[in-house]
A and B are shown apart, each in its own frame.
With several copies, the nearest count.
Chain A
């Protein structure tokens, strides 16, 4: 049971509590309430379906940002074995908001990179809320270039409110670091699979987002600006974020319809944070299939196809 309950999840919570109480009561008193419990559990399933299949973009935004949603390190543990973290940009610092290294995916060596948000305030302070500094992006670049040398596929997990906007980040060329990644990822001679697992926030997300396949988890978002930021600019009112979330078409299903992403990975009912393992299973199946396809294409073709995909955006 997650600690943080979103507004639209509250009816579920009440029902879950009632079922738990009933079970306890039945157990304590030795009464058979199986029929009643069964009815309530069916009701719960239906309610879940009803709620989670009809989420608004703003509700999905909240799920995408849920503090207990698995972060890159959680997925590294669930998806890979032998994870070896590699650190530093060899120039300035190591960025805890963006991690990476080498691991095995079903036995095959891969390079893994990803943003890391914390699950609580302490972790978030340590991870800068998943907002990388330039050295984070430069570390990612170093690691994917290493992947290219050793012909390892890259798995990139995206989950960030955006690149950090501190004064130091500006001093050390935040924009330069992001642009360099877009430039270099686009020509990298090894397969890159990008999965947006939570919040795909603008340039900070895109800096890990150029690849051969761009997938999104069902309840993740991908946007050029935060709904709050958009509402502030449009209507000078950040409270109208839900409206902006709809206007921005930032959900996985909408982006798939628009042809901007290649696939949506389903989450178990209730969202990734209620079932990290089930979510990881879905991701694993998708990676397996995509890797198999990509590894049959030679590097030159891969890079040419990567360019064609980008070239076609907007339909010209």
Chain B
């Protein structure tokens, strides 16, 4: 399965050059319109630029495999717990079919990809939420895989990086999904007590129960420019207020201005900043 993911990913990202099977390219669109500035972008160019609009710097969403490829050193990523497959603990209406189509669309078994890799040669445990798998929502498997990653970090003393992109808790798993907020936060608390570095990266979108748990518990919290970051859905908030909200409401910039995150890092600098953070934590002061 991991092989499939990376095959798929290589069609999107040119960080690792050369090996993509040429014949599959025909199925991909050649041009795409930037949803922010309207510029028509050549897909291959867009992918070379880590899916950032060359005109307005709009950051397109990355799939979890794309994010891994854009972040870790070539050929270092080893997936963990890839066998864990989404469950349906409540026998929730239509959930199984929803899971099946998500699996088909993304090639993933739930909304997270975790593993060990290296960034500029420094080993790291990394987890990435998949925004295309039921909106990157957190249910039992997402919570479990994060917890296992953290437990591995406590054992191996390796730092943890989690990239969030999520609509929040996975409604269809009911209180099981809600309790993943407690479970992942408690896991991070144990990681903290063990004195291990945890960097949280908020990408578009990070909301609800994911934001209100592990995503905001990083020693260092980074965010991509323009990312939607907020607890409550914007529509909910507007209804609550019955008034218009500021244009940057619930963006990375809004969060930065309100002191909630450490830094906004453009995608083309993310790898280097992460490497710098890892380096600064690779030896005791």
Cα A176 to Cα B258 in complex, Å, equals 12
A171 in the interface, Cβ–Cβ < 8 Å? yes
Contact indicator per residue, chain B 83-105, by CB within 8 Å of chain A (1) or not (0):
01001011011100000000000
A200 to chain B, nearest CB (A): 8
| A249/B189 in contact, CB under 8 A | no
**Residues of B close to A248: CB separation below 8 A:** 90, 171, 174
Cα A172 to Cα B258 in complex, Å, equals 7
B216 in the interface, Cβ–Cβ < 8 Å? yes
B232: contacting residue among A111, A173, A174, CB under 8 A? A174
Identify the closest chain B residue to A104 (Cβ): B280
**Residues of A close to B45: CB separation below 8 A:** none
Count: A-B pairs, CB below 8 Å: 241
Identify the closest chain A residue to B175 (Cβ): A260
Of the four ranges (under 10, 10 to 19, 20 to 34, 35 or more), the interface on chain B belongs to 35 or more
Of the four ranges (under 10, 10 to 19, 20 to 34, 35 or more), the interface on chain A belongs to 35 or more
| B182/A186 in contact, CB under 8 A | yes
A260: contacting residue among B147, B179, B188, B190, CB under 8 A? B179
Identify the closest chain B residue to A87 (Cβ): B262
A58-66, A146-154, A277-285: which lies at the B interface? Answer: A146-154
| B90/A166 in contact, CB under 8 A | no
Cα A149 to Cα B284 in complex, Å, equals 10
A249: contacting residue among B84, B175, B285, CB under 8 A? B175
A91-99, A113-121, A264-272: which lies at the B interface? Answer: A91-99
A178 in the interface, Cβ–Cβ < 8 Å? yes
| A82/B189 in contact, CB under 8 A | no
Cα A249 to Cα B179 in complex, Å, equals 14
A40 in the interface, Cβ–Cβ < 8 Å? no
A21-29, A30-38, A69-77, A305-313: which lies at the B interface? Answer: A305-313
**Residues of A close to B276: CB separation below 8 A:** 82, 84
B247 in the interface, Cβ–Cβ < 8 Å? no
B4-12, B46-54, B60-68, B192-200: which lies at the A interface? Answer: B192-200
8 Å CB contacts to A: which residues of B197-249?
A: 197, 208-209, 211-217, 219-220, 230-233, 236-237, 240-241, 245-246, 249
8 Å CB contacts to B: which residues of A176-200?
A: 176, 178-180, 182-184, 186-187, 190
| B285/A152 in contact, CB under 8 A | yes
B140 in the interface, Cβ–Cβ < 8 Å? yes
**Residues of A close to B249: CB separation below 8 A:** 167, 170
B14 in the interface, Cβ–Cβ < 8 Å? no
**Residues of A close to B171: CB separation below 8 A:** 224-225, 230, 233, 248
8 Å CB contacts to B: which residues of A246-301?
A: 247-250, 255, 258, 260
B115 in the interface, Cβ–Cβ < 8 Å? no
**Residues of A close to B197: CB separation below 8 A:** 150
A130 in the interface, Cβ–Cβ < 8 Å? no
A1 in the interface, Cβ–Cβ < 8 Å? no
**Residues of A close to B284: CB separation below 8 A:** 109, 150-152
* 19 A-B interface contacts by CB (under 8 A): A109-B285, A149-B192, A151-B285, A163-B232, A167-B246, A167-B249, A178-B181, A178-B212, A206-B178, A223-B175, A224-B209, A234-B94, A247-B90, A247-B93, A248-B171, A248-B174, A250-B174, A306-B186, A307-B186
Beyond the given A307-B190, A314-B141, could you list 13 further A-B residue pairs with CB under 8 A, ordered by the A residue number?
A88-B256, A88-B260, A151-B285, A165-B231, A167-B237, A167-B245, A169-B231, A178-B213, A178-B231, A186-B186, A202-B169, A206-B178, A307-B186
